[in-house]
Structure 1
Amino acid sequence: MLNPNPDSISLTHDDYQRYSRHLTLPEIGVTGQKRLKAARVICIGTGGLGSPLLLYLAAAGIGRIGIVDFDIVDTSNLQRQIIHGTSWVNQPKIESAKRRILDINPFCQVDLYNTRLTSQNALDILKPYDIVVDGTDNFPTRYLLNDACVLLDKPNVYGSIFRFEGQASVFNYQGGPNYRDLYPEPPPPGLVPSCAEGGVLGILPGLIGVIQATETVKIITGVGKTLSGRLLLYNALEMKFRELKLTPNPVRPTIDRLIDYEQFCGIPQAKAKEAQQKMEIPEMTVQELKQLIDSDATDFVLVDVRNPDEYEIGKIPGSVLVPLPDIERGEGVEKVKEVANGKRLIAHCKKGGRASKALQILKEAGIEGTNVTGGILAWSEQIDPSVPQY
C-alpha cells in the first residue's frame, strides 16, 4: 500500500455520489477513496493496454493521471484501443485519451507527455508519480521502465499481450521481483513478432488492462493480495488462467543507472544486419511490378509470403501464396522451386520485411529473387486502391 495521508484529502458531495459503490465496500470505504483521490499514477502508452486501464483508473477516482505517448490514432487501432474513437483518427493519442478521461471524470488531473520515453527523460517524467503502469509494446521500453522504477523505488504494474495470450504481474513492490527477474535478457530482435505482424484478439488487451487497473487500485488502497511475486498467464482460446511464482534473483546485476536500451536489446545490430540483407536482395517498385504484369511476360513468378487470411483480404493478380512459416520450415522452399521452375522469382508481403526474410532463406537454398518494396500496402496506395489496407 502507498501512504498518501487520507487525512489531508477531503471528499466533495460529488465524490460521495460518484464513488458510492466504493464507499459501501468495507475494504475501501472513505479512507480508501481518499487514498485513490490522493494517488498519482502514470501510464506509459495509450494503446491496447493503456486504453482500458486508463478508463477504469479515471472512473475509480485516481486524482492525478500522467500519460506518455507520441503516436497518433490510426484506424487499425480502433479494434482494441477503446479509449479512442473514429473522430480522433490522425490526431494525437494522448489528446484523445485525455478527452475521454475527462468525460468520465472531469475532476481528474491529466498530465500529458507527448514524447518517447528515453533514458534521458524517464527519471524526470516518472518521479512525480506513485505508481508506474506499463502499457508498452516493445522490449527496450519495458527494460527502461523497469530500471527507472528500481532507481526511483516505484511499483511497476506490468502487462503484455500477443495473439490470444496475455500476462500480468506487479514488479518492484515491497521487495518483490522486478522485470529482469522474469526476463534477465531480451529475446533476439525479430524473434517475437509484433502485434501488427502476428495479430491480437481485440478483446484480449481489455482483460489484461483491467487486471493492471485492478492491481493499481489494490496497491493504492492496500486491499487484497497483489500479483507481486506472481506471473498471471491467460489463454483466451481455452479461457484458462495459470500462475507462476517469481522470486528475486540474488545474483542479478545491480541497476545503478539507465543505459542504451535499444543497444541492450540488440536493435542497432539487427537494423545493421537488416540493412545489409536488403543490400544483398534486389528490390523493385510496385510501378515496375505493374509494368511487368501489364507486359504479359511469362518469365517470372510472383510469390506472396503472407498468411492465408491476409491473402484472402487482398492479393496482387497472378500471385502464388507460399507463407513465410512454410518457407522457414523447409517445405515452402520446395514449393517455391516448383512454382518458379527456372523463372525469375519476385516476392512480396504486407510491407516488405517478411519477403526479405523469405528471400534470404531461399537464397541460402540457391534460389535468387527480388523483393517488392512496400509490399501489398504500397500496391494498394499507388496502384490499386480496391485492395483493402489492413
Structure 2
Amino acid sequence: MKSKKHLRYFIPLLIIISFSLLVTSGLKIKGVLADKHMDLFTFVSSLSTPQVSVNELQSGQLKPVILVDVRSQKEYDLDRIGNSILIPLNDIESGAAIQKIRDIVQSNTHPDQKMPTIVLYCKVGGDRSFKAYKELEKTGLNFVVLSGGIKGWRQVVPDKNDATVLAPITPLAN
C-alpha cells in the first residue's frame, strides 16, 4: 500500500521533469533556429548537409573551390568573399540558376583537373545556404555550405586579404 502512495507522487513528478526538459531543450533549439534564421524543417535537413569551416577552406582541403553567394544583390554589393559569384536563392529555387552553375563549373574546370567543390554561403551559414544546397544537391555537382557564412569568414579573414587567401584554392580569386 505504501508503494502505491509513492507511485501516486512519482508519476506526476516524472511528467513535470520530462516536460521541463522538453521545454528547455526546445528553447535551445529555438535559439539555434533564430540565430541561423531557419525554420525547423531546414534545421533538420541541415544536420545532414556537408559543411566546411573557414579554416578547412583556407587549408586547401577542398581545392579547387568556387564560392557562390546565395544572398541578395544588395547584400552582395555591400560585402562578398573575393570574386565569389552571386546566385541568389530565389534564382536557385526557381531553377533558373541550375544551368548557370553548370556553365560556371565547366568553364572553370580543366580536363586534367578534378571537379571543383562549390561552396555556398549566405550571411551566417543558415537558412539560405541550406535551402540552396537542398535544391542543388540533385545536380550531381559537389556542394558544401560554409559554416558561419560571410560573417564567420570575416571573423577570420579581413576583406583586404580575400584575394591572397583564395588565390591558392580558387580559379576565380583575382
Q: Is the 8 A contact 2:116 2:142 kept in 1?
A: no
- Structure 1, residues 303-335: CA drift from partner, whole Å, max 9, x if none? 111111111111111311111111011111111
Q: Which runs of structure 2 are paired with 1:72-87 in the superposition (5 Å)?
A: none
SS in 2 for 1:346: strand
User: Residue 274 of structure 1 is aligned with which of 42, 46, 50?
Assistant: 42
Q: Give the Cα separation in 1 of the matches to 2:142 and 2:160.
A: 31
Which residue of 1 is the match for residue 132 of structure 2? Answer: 358
Change (3 A) 1:318 1:288: farther
What's the CA shift for 1:364?
Answer: 2.6
Let me know the Cα RMSD of the aligned residues: 3.2
Q: Is the 8 A contact 1:302 1:320 kept in 2?
A: yes
Q: Give the Cα separation in 2 of the matches to 1:364 and 1:277.
A: 14
Paired AA for residue 117 in structure 2: R
SS in 2 for 1:331: coil
What's the CA shift for 1:348?
Answer: 0.6
1:339 equivalent in alignment to 2:107? no
Q: Which runs of structure 2 are paired with 1:1-390 in the superposition (5 Å)?
A: 270-271=39-40, 273-292=41-60, 297=63, 299-341=64-106, 342-353=115-126, 354-384=128-158
SS in 2 for 1:301: strand
Q: Is the 8 A contact 2:82 2:159 kept in 1?
A: no
Which residue of 2 is the match for residue 100 of structure 1? Answer: none
Q: Give the Cα separation in 2 of the matches to 1:385 and 1:338.
A: 27
Paired AA for residue 346 in structure 1: V
Q: Give the Cα separation in 2 of the matches to 1:275 and 1:336.
A: 25
Which residue of 1 is the match for residue 7 of structure 2? Answer: none
Count of residue pairs the alignment pairs up: 120
* Structure 2, gaps ≥5 residues long: 1-32, 107-114, 162-174
With structure 2 as the length reference, what TM-score do the two structures score? 0.58
Q: Give the Cα separation in 2 of the matches to 1:358 and 1:334.
A: 14
Decide which structure has the larger Cα Rg and report it: 1
Higher helix share goes to which structure? Answer: 2
- Structure 1, residues 261-317: CA drift from partner, whole Å, max 9, x if none? xxxxxx9xx52x334322321101112223339x9x5x3211111111111111111
SS in 1 for 2:56: helix
What's the CA shift for 1:351?
Answer: 0.9
* Structure 1, gaps ≥5 residues long: 1-189, 198-266
**More relative contact order, 1 or 2 (CA 8 Å, 6+ apart):** 2
- Structure 1, residues 38-63: CA drift from partner, whole Å, max 9, x if none? xxxxxxxxxxxxxxxxxxxxxxxxxx
- Structure 1, residues 8-55: CA drift from partner, whole Å, max 9, x if none? xxxxxxxxxxxxxxxxxxxxxxxxxxxxxxxxxxxxxxxxxxxxxxxx
Q: Is the 8 A contact 1:301 1:346 kept in 2?
A: yes
Change (3 A) 1:274 1:384: same
Structure 1: 4+ residue segments shifted above 6 A? none
Q: Is the 8 A contact 1:287 1:383 kept in 2?
A: no
Q: Is the 8 A contact 2:71 2:88 kept in 1?
A: yes
SS in 1 for 2:153: helix
With structure 1 as the length reference, what TM-score do the two structures score? 0.28
